[in-house]
Structure formats: structure tokens, C-alpha cells
């Protein structure tokens, strides 16, 4: 192996850090809602500040309503990430909520179809589609909140690393 071959095929450490940062960020919608579950008794007893109880409810509801579709979404995203660099993974975060909204609509529609078959209720399909559309709006808002947070956190992280090096 020549030096030029090695230099062309060794990944840039900064790109690897960027990729790893955003890979971890993609797991946050599954990890963050678990934090209030640890304090669930306090939330249920309303011994938590009102704003904190609302945040805890929002996080837990997002896990319950969107957790399984999000797992399907993650499988697709991590399959796509193979061979991608950090910048490409970061750019993916900008469209990820839209893709997840589509996955959510498909999953809710499938639940409506299965529910309609077992309950012999034709309106279950329409209910699944409407639920999926409603939840996809919730998913878009939540998703872009995560995207904004993690992209700002990455800019701050990169700034701190550069300051430390100078």
C-alpha cells in the first residue's frame, strides 16, 4: 500500500466525530422519553412543577405513540448511513422528520387496516389514515425541535473543540 492510497482511504477524524454525534442524536427520541419514566410516580402525583409535568407528558406520549414507527425509521436511516460521511448524515437530519412523518402515516394506516379486518369495521382504515396524519404533524413538530437542538448543539461542540485547539 502506498501512502497516497492510505491518505485517500483513511476517514477524516472530524467527519467521524460528526457522523457519530448525529448517529447518537437519532437515538435521542427513544432515550429522552425514558428519563421522565424514572420519575413517573412524581409526575402522576403532580408533585412536579407544572411545566415539567407537561414536558414529561409530551415526551412519554411521543414514545408511546411514535416509538414503534420510529424504530422502523431508524432501521432505514442506519441502513442508508453505511458509507456516508458526517456531513451527509448531518444533512439527512434536515429531511428526517418528513421521512418519519411518512413512516408514521404508513404504520397508522396499516394498524387501521388490521383493525378493520379483525373488527370487521370498514371505517378503521379511515381512522388509521386520519390518526397517522394527525400524529405526523406531531412528529414533524417534535422532529424539527430535535433537529434544531442537535444541530445547534453540534455547532457549539465544534466551536468548543476549535477553541480548545487554539
**Region 121-147 average pLDDT:** 82
Does 3 fall in a domain? no
CA distances to 32, 75, 114, 142 from 49, rounded to whole Å, are: 18, 36, 40, 22
Per-residue model confidence (pLDDT) at position 76? 94
Per-residue model confidence (pLDDT) at position 65? 75
Number of domains present in the structure of the chain: 1
Does 1 fall in a domain? no
Q: What is the model's pTM?
A: 0.74
66-114 pLDDT tens trace:
788 899 999 999 999 998 988 899 999 999 999 999 998 888 888 777 7
Q: Is residue 97 a contact partner of residue 138, using CB atoms and an 8 Å limit?
A: no
Does 2 fall in a domain? no
Please name the residues in contact with 65: beta carbons below 8 A apart, sequence gap of 6 or more. 135, 138
Does 4 fall in a domain? no
Does 8 fall in a domain? no
Q: Is the CA virtual torsion 38, 39, 41, 43 positive or negative?
A: negative
Does 5 fall in a domain? no
Per-residue model confidence (pLDDT) at position 30? 83
Domain extent, residue 67, equals 13-165
Residue 120, by phi and psi: left (phi above 0), alpha (psi -120 to 50) or beta? Answer: left
Does 6 fall in a domain? no
Per-residue model confidence (pLDDT) at position 74? 93
Does 7 fall in a domain? no
Please name the residues in contact with 53: beta carbons below 8 A apart, sequence gap of 6 or more. 43, 46
Q: Is residue 12 a contact partner of residue 148, using CB atoms and an 8 Å limit?
A: no
Alpha-carbon distance of 45 to 132, in angstroms, equals 31
Amino acid at each position: 500500500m502506498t501512502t497516497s492510497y492510505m491518505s485517500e482511504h483513511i476517514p477524516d477524524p472530524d467527519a467521524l466525530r460528526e457522523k457519530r454525534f448525529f448517529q447518537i442524536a437519532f437515538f435521542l427520541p427513544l432515550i429522552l422519553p425514558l428519563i421522565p419514566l424514572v420519575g413517573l410516580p412524581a409526575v402522576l402525583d403532580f408533585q412536579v412543577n407544572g411545566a415539567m409535568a407537561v414536558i414529561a407528558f409530551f415526551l412519554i406520549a411521543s414514545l408511546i405513540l411514535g416509538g414503534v414507527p420510529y424504530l422502523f425509521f431508524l432501521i432505514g436511516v442506519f441502513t442508508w448511513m453505511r458509507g456516508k460521511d458526517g456531513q451527509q448524515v448531518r444533512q439527512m437530519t434536515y429531511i428526517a422528520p418528513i421521512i418519519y412523518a411518512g413512516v408514521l402515516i404508513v404504520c397508522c394506516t396499516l394498524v387501521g387496516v388490521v383493525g378493520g379486518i379483525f373488527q370487521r369495521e370498514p371505517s378503521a382504515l379511515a381512522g388509521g389514515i386520519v390518526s397517522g396524519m394527525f400524529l405526523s404533524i406531531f412528529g414533524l413538530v417534535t422532529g424539527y425541535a430535535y433537529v434544531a437542538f442537535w444541530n445547534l448543539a453540534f455547532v457549539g461542540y465544534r466551536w468548543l473543540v476549535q477553541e480548545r485547539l487554539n
